Chains A and B, each alone.
Chain A
Amino acid sequence: DGGITQSPKYLFRKEGQNVTLSCEQNLNHDAMYWYRQDPGQGLRLIYYSQIVNDFQKGDIAEGYSVSREKKESFPLTVTSAQKNPTAFYLCASSIGKIGGGDTGELFFGEGSRLTVL
């Protein structure tokens, strides 16, 4: 089955630790995204990548880092610099570039819930 796999589903972290959330897709999509979801806030864009070895900051990139070494993979690292990292993190992909004539439909993973103790 084609789709997006996020792991781990639940993660606990002590303050001061970096953690990496995995996101893998087998849809052969060019673009991938990381969103953060907090209650009542909707989804906020952290980082996105439209092609391998290239990525752009979203609205709330501070305290996060990403890499895109392979088309299928877009891991997100939550660093100790992120002041309030407890949240639900969603990875998504799209066939092509949003706003560039594509429909803009996103395909989402099941999410990773990070809790800082």
Chain B
Amino acid sequence: AQSVTQLDSHVSVSEGTPVLLRCNYSSSYSPSLFWYVQHPNKGLQLLLKYTSAATLVKGINGFEAEFKKSETSFHLTKPSAHMSDAAEYFCVVSYSGYSTLTFGKGTMLLVSP
């Protein structure tokens, strides 16, 4: 069965320091991987996606993620956190032949001044 694991339920950083949100997926050929962000009481917004092109994917708001097949990981990073980055982040996987997506349980990013 397809699965995705977000290794941290909460991550706390100071403004201006790097952000790392970790995600591992169950091994399969041809996964598509996504990171979504959700601000309180809002819907989810796509940050970036990997669909078998370049392994380093750049998204909106300065975020990027690297697909590492050998480690089955797709970690999300940002060089310098901003207060507005405080939100919940979801890693999502899609496999060819499966008609639905699988969501991780989310990582809450807290940014302190």
Instruction: Give residues in A with beta carbon < 8 Å to B.
Output: 4, 6, 33, 40-45, 48, 50, 56, 58, 88, 90, 92, 97-101, 103-106, 108-111, 113
Contacts and interface: CB of A to CB of B under 8 A. Distances in A.
B94 interface: yes
30 contacts: A4-B43, A40-B9, A41-B105, A42-B103, A42-B104, A44-B103, A45-B100, A48-B100, A50-B99, A90-B44, A92-B43, A97-B99, A98-B94, A98-B98, A98-B100, A98-B101, A99-B99, A99-B100, A100-B99, A101-B96, A103-B32, A104-B32, A104-B51, A106-B46, A106-B101, A108-B45, A110-B41, A110-B42, A111-B41, A111-B43
Contacts of A6: 43
A80 B100 CA distance: 27
Interface in B40-80: 41-46, 49, 51
Contacts of B51: 103-104
B34 A104 contact: yes
Contacts of A56: 99
Contacts of B94: 98-99, 104
Contacts of A88: 41
Which secondary structure dominates chain B's binding surface? loop
Interface residues of B, number: 25
Nearest to B6: A42
B105 A90 contact: no
A40 B105 contact: yes
B97 interface: yes
Question: Which 5 pairs across A and B sit closest by C-beta, in order of nearness?
Answer: A108-B43, A104-B94, A42-B105, A99-B98, A43-B103
